[in-house]
């Protein structure tokens, strides 16, 4: 078994506007501490995946900054997609590239923008899942035991009978629920948060793509035939121009009979909004999280980010305030998921300077 890692790093992080931009989206920012999120993702693989076996799938706009932030990863391992086509084409592309290098490749597929603590537990979960995936040919996803009725995550229902050590058969995938449904999921005890992290053999996921997404598989075979040739970039662009945008969850995981789940017993968050950042951050005696030169008076339970200019907030509660050089966001914490609508507005009105 040869362990490889695929870091998916093409997203724009629209719910992190105005800090997240096209060229520097969420995964390339320092949200917590002194390292960016993609640097932390790569660092978590130390000791389990050789640096030469780490691949990053991104896009043309973000690639230069990723090369700069991850100098330890071979430049040829940072692959740019010509267009964003969601996770199924991204994972398929990585799988054909890596399967050319190793017939025994097991891929650990990770988003670039998660927060994970308990690294030893995380790595142990990966090793156990990789061994099962290698021996069984199964597709393994990592589920997180929910701690609250969260409406921002998808859920996975499992058969609670163990297949083997910390490996369970998956019943169903559920989209992000409303609050009442999330409460029912939590009370049932057999639903877990869908972390979006996967472990599988390269040949196993390609076999399932062939069955459930034959058009994508046909395009991937075209790309495979031109790997390492002068026509690779042209073929890649042509194929991506034809394939449909589809997630690996919807395209494969919800349909395949070979899907398993391993429980991640480590602290995890996909940091999907400014509210998540607030929840994960250390707070002062008033329940505020403050970054930058900020004055507050009669202000509680708020997240205020303003490193570039002095900001004063008076008589406020439960607010998100993000003040950058070019833009200002003010929203209630419980509306943090709606920030992506600002990005939609800016796109529609072609206000690209703010994107």
This prediction has a pTM of: 0.94
Is residue 23 a contact partner of residue 60, using CB atoms and an 8 Å limit?
no
Tell me the per-residue pLDDT of 285-316, one tens digit each, with 9 for 90 and over: 999 999 999 999 999 999 999 999 999 999 99
How far apart (Å, rounded) are the C-alpha atoms in residues 111 and 6? 8
Q: What is the pLDDT confidence band of residue 11, given thresholds at 50, 70 and 90?
A: confident
Does position 150 have pLDDT exceeding 90, yes or no? no
Averaged pLDDT, 131-142:
98
Rounded mean pLDDT of 271-280? 93
- 1 touches 131 (CB < 8 A): yes
- By the 8 A CB rule, do 264 and 143 touch? yes
**Terminal CA-to-CA distance of the chain, rounded, Å?**
43
Instruction: Give me the CATH topology for the region 2-269.
Output: Spore Coat Polysaccharide Biosynthesis Protein SpsA; Chain A (3.90.550)
Distance CA 246, CA 216 (A): 10
Residues with Cβ within 8 Å of 103's Cβ and at least 6 positions away in sequence, in order, are 203
Handedness of CA 42, 86, 97, 128 (dihedral sign): positive
The dihedral over CA atoms of 156, 157, 162, 167, expressed in degrees to the nearest 10, equals -10
Query: Percent of the chain beyond pLDDT 90?
Result: 89
Domain regions of the chain by residue span: 2-269, 274-354
Mean pLDDT, range 33-50, rounded to an integer: 96
The C-alpha atoms of residue 252 and residue 91 are separated, in whole angstroms, by 11
In this structure, the strands spanning 259-264 and 191-201 are: unpaired
Whole-number pLDDT of residue 71: 98
pLDDT band at 335 (very low <50, low <70, confident <90, very high): very high
Q: Is 71 exposed, middle or buried (0-12, 13-18, 19+ CB in 10 A)?
A: exposed
Q: Tell me what pLDDT residue 10 has.
A: 86
What distance in Å separates the CA atoms of residue 70 and residue 42, rounded to the nearest whole number? 8
The dihedral formed by the CA atoms of 14, 115, 54 and 60, expressed in degrees to the nearest 10: 10
**Residues 6 or more apart in contact with residue 56 via CB below 8 angstroms:** 6, 7, 9, 38, 66, 70, 73, 77, 78, 79, 112
Q: Which residues of 322-347 are buried (b: 16+ CB within 10 A; e: fewer)?
A: bbbeebebebebeebbebbebbeebe
> What is the pLDDT at residue 247?
95
Q: What per-residue confidence (pLDDT) applies to 23?
A: 84
Q: In the chain, what is the greatest distance between 2 CA atoms, to the nearest angstrom?
A: 65
- For residues 50 and 31, what is the distance between their CA atoms, to the nearest angstrom? 26
Is the omega angle on the peptide bond into residue 126 within 30 degrees of 0, that is, cis? Answer: no
CA atoms of 54 and 204, how far apart (whole Å) = 19
- Average pLDDT of the segment spanning 236-259: 96
Confidence class for position 189, pLDDT limits 50, 70, 90 = confident
The single residue listed with the structure tokens 């369970």 is: 168
């Amino acid at each position: 078994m040869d362990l490889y890692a695929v870091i998916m790093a093409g997203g724009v992080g629209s719910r992190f506007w105005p800090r997240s931009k096209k060229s520097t989206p969420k995964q390339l920012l320092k949200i917590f501490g002194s390292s960016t999120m993609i640097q932390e993702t790569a660092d978590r693989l130390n000791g389990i995946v050789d640096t030469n076996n780490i691949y990053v799938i991104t896009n043309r706009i973000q690639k230069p900054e990723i090369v700069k932030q991850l100098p330890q990863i071979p430049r040829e391992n940072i692959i740019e997609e010509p267009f964003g086509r969601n996770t199924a084409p991204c994972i398929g592309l990585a799988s054909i590239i890596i399967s050319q290098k190793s017939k025994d490749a097991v891929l650990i597929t990770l988003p670039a923008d998660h927060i994970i603590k308990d690294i030893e537990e995380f790595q142990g979960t990966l090793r156990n899942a990789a061994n099962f995936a290698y021996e069984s040919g199964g597709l393994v996803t990592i589920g997180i035991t929910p701690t609250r009725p969260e409406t921002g995550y998808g859920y996975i229902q499992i058969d609670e009978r163990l297949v083997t050590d910390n490996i369970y058969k998956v019943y169903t995938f559920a989209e992000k629920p409303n609050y009442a449904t999330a409460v029912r999921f939590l009370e049932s005890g057999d639903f877990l948060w869908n972390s979006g992290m996967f472990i599988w053999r390269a040949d196993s996921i390609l076999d399932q793509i062939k069955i459930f997404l034959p058009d994508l598989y046909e395009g991937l075979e075209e790309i495979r035939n031109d790997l390492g040739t002068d026509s690779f970039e042209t073929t890649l662009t042509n194929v991506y121009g034809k394939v449909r945008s589809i997630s690996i969850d919807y395209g494969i995981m919800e349909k395949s009979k070979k899907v398993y789940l391993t429980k991640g017993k480590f602290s995890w968050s996909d940091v999907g909004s400014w509210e998540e950042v607030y929840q994960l951050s250390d707070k002062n005696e008033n329940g505020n999280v403050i970054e930058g030169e900020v004055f507050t008076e009669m202000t509680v339970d708020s997240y205020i980010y303003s490193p570039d200019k002095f900001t004063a907030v008076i008589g406020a509660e439960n607010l998100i305030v993000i003040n950058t050089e070019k833009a200002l966001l003010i929203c209630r914490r419980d509306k943090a998921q709606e920030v992506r609508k600002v990005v939609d507005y800016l796109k529609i009105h072609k206000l690209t300077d703010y994107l």
